[in-house]
Chains A and B, each alone.
Chain A
Amino acid sequence: MSTITAVRRPSPRTAVLRAEARLFRREAGSLFWTLGFPPLLLVILGSIRSFRKFDEGLGMRVIDVYVPTLVLVALIVTGLQAMPPVITGYRERGILRRMSLTPVRPSALLTAQMGLNGAAGVLSALVCLTIGRLAFDVQLPKQAAGYALAFLLTVTAALALGALISALAPTARLAAGIGMVVFFPSLFSAGLWAPVQSMPHTLREIVVLLPFGAASQALEQAAAGHWPAWSHLGVLTAWAVVLTAAAARWFRWE
């Protein structure tokens, strides 16, 4: 039954990534929440007239503070909401096991999922920055390198947190549930309800120790043209490392 394949064949991992990308595009709900919701929320917030006026207490306009927050919302939605049920579902429904019967390790599915969700989060964040700049005249980050570094660390932490939820949840339904439980504190710490700067002192001290709290501060400082404080970058790095290690430690293939 041997066959000669004349066409150049994609590498196995590329084939897995391609198939997952196709499936990713078929999830309309997931696509809306990852790519549509954060920019939409930014447009809604930007449409509030008072948010576009200079705020004495903040030292800038509210919308200026909200752009980094919505960049974080994009990463939180992809990492905590979109990805965990998919990966846990792949384990629950034996898809990872099925793949381990082939010459390709099932980790190819996980890397593909993390890559696709990471890319979707980055894209959504870039759309938010662009809308902020074009529609609401929000300056692009002045300290671009610092912003990029803080951003990449946050992407890593968000994906690692998502992977940890996938690792711990026995079913896709529970993964979605746990994702929800972590989702709201994450949005809060990213400053969605109230900017982190305007939080009471003690609360703020706690929030900046959380991954998305530290991230929101680091992004804001870089946006304003400063190199992000090492304390924030340190907190982010620590979370990224610990969450990745924990996800790797507790992940089960079946």
Chain B
Amino acid sequence: MTSTSPIVEVSSLRKAYGGRAVVDDVSFTVDEGEIFGILGPNGAGKTTTVECVEGLRIPDGGRIRIAGLDPVADHAAVTQVLGAQLQESELQAKLTVREALELYAALYPNPADWRPLAERLGLTGKLNTRFGALSGGQKQRLFIALALIGNPRVVVLDELTTGLDPRARRDTWEIVEDVRAGGVTVLLVTHFMEEAQRLCDRIALIDTGRITALDTPQGLISRTAGSTIISFTPSAPLDDADLAALPALASIEDKDGRITLGGSDETVTALLSLLARHRITAHQLRVTDATLDDAFLDLTGATK
């Protein structure tokens, strides 16, 4: 990518309903080729934010640019740069997959060929099936196809995998990675930590209308206290004071002789030398990274 300016720019976005701020001073930029996640609990303002980006809602304040275009003032031009899958939307129940693809292709001046697109999304066997007869996963794949059919530079995917079974969810993740590999920037709205951790290059964490953190998934995890979890069963009792003195220790738990510590890499090293000094063996020693789940709870905990 030669372009250095971000393809999506949101600055100081505000939107209120009935005096209640739903989106409150949200700013972020998305670089071309990125998968950018907007993660947060239900009702945090994620969908309202992307609906402003899509030009479906008029912001109360702030500025949005998609490839330099205003989603409201330049709506027609923006529709050719930005494709989207909406959180709650359907098609006419009796429209077949083929008809939907042909129809939406006809709405764009330079559409993608829908046949390879259908192939890529595994819809080829379903072309003559009516929308109403598709499974949840198939409907979502069709909506991804429709989001891509105008050859956009950015796609917004809002709660793409909500309601899908784990298998269909994983298949959909592969499709999202594939979309990015095709050069399309992805703005992904989700409340699944696992999904954000797996797919996103960077994540904006939104809670009650505000961005509480914006970083890479790994960055978000490592900035939380206790990003490394160590658990073991010592062969002989350990002195509580020794444990409490470990560096970077965030949490300590002793359950029926099994000790679980939250800390960092430093904690692990110090613990190992402590054990060696006392000639204690750590049975079933497990060292794991905290997940985005832990980070999320930690980062949003302050506002609860």
Q: Mark B103-118, 1 if CB is under 8 A from A, else 0.
A: 1101111111100000
Pick the interface stretch among B4-12, B89-97, B159-167, B253-261: B89-97
- B107 touching A102, Cβ below 8 Å: yes
User: Does any Cβ of B come within 8 Å of A94's Cβ?
Assistant: yes
The winner among A98, A101, A104 for most chain B CB atoms within 10 A is: A101
Chain B residue with the shortest CB-CB distance to A102: B107
Chain B residue with the shortest CB-CB distance to A254: B56
User: Does any Cβ of A come within 8 Å of B189's Cβ?
Assistant: no
Shortest distance from the beta carbon of B200 to any chain A beta carbon, whole Å: 22
| Interface contact tally, CB-CB below 8 A | 73
How many Å lie between the Cα of A230 and that of B76 in the bound state?
45
Knowing A23-B95, A26-B94, A94-B90, say if A101 contacts B112 (CB, 8 Å).
no
Pick the interface stretch among A10-18, A146-154, A174-182: A10-18
Q: Mark B260-300, 1 if CB is under 8 A from A, else 0.
A: 00000000000000000000000000000000000000000
Pick the interface stretch among B80-88, B208-216, B221-229, B242-250: B80-88
- B89 touching A1, Cβ below 8 Å: no
Q: How large is the interface on A (under 10, 10 to 19, 20 to 34, 35 or more residues)?
A: 20 to 34
Q: Mark A75-101, 1 if CB is under 8 A from B, else 0.
A: 000000000000000100111011111
User: Does any Cβ of B come within 8 Å of A2's Cβ?
Assistant: yes
User: Does any Cβ of B come within 8 Å of A194's Cβ?
Assistant: no
Contact pick for B99, options A1, A10, A22, A100, CB 8 Å: A22
User: Does any Cβ of A come within 8 Å of B27's Cβ?
Assistant: no
Contact pick for A97, options B86, B104, B150, CB 8 Å: B86
Q: How large is the interface on B (under 10, 10 to 19, 20 to 34, 35 or more residues)?
A: 20 to 34
User: Does any Cβ of A come within 8 Å of B182's Cβ?
Assistant: yes
Chain B residues with CB below 8 A from A94, complex form: 86, 88-90
Chain B residue with the shortest CB-CB distance to A27: B94
- B107 touching A97, Cβ below 8 Å: no
Contact pick for B79, options A90, A101, A254, CB 8 Å: A101
Shortest distance from the beta carbon of B28 to any chain A beta carbon, whole Å: 21
Knowing A26-B94, A93-B89, A95-B91, say if A9 contacts B112 (CB, 8 Å).
no
User: Does any Cβ of A come within 8 Å of B207's Cβ?
Assistant: no
Chain B residues with CB below 8 A from A99, complex form: 107
- A103 touching B79, Cβ below 8 Å: yes
Contact pick for B150, options A98, A100, A102, CB 8 Å: A102
Q: Mark A92-128, 1 if CB is under 8 A from B, else 0.
A: 0111011111111000000000000000000000000
Having A90-B92, A98-B90, A103-B107, one finds 9 other A-B pairs with CB under 8 Å, namely A1-B182, A3-B110, A11-B106, A15-B102, A15-B106, A101-B84, A101-B86, A103-B79, A103-B108
| CB pairs A–B below 8 angstroms (17 shown) | A3-B110, A3-B113, A10-B106, A15-B102, A27-B94, A93-B89, A93-B90, A94-B88, A97-B89, A98-B86, A98-B146, A99-B107, A101-B56, A101-B82, A103-B80, A103-B109, A254-B56
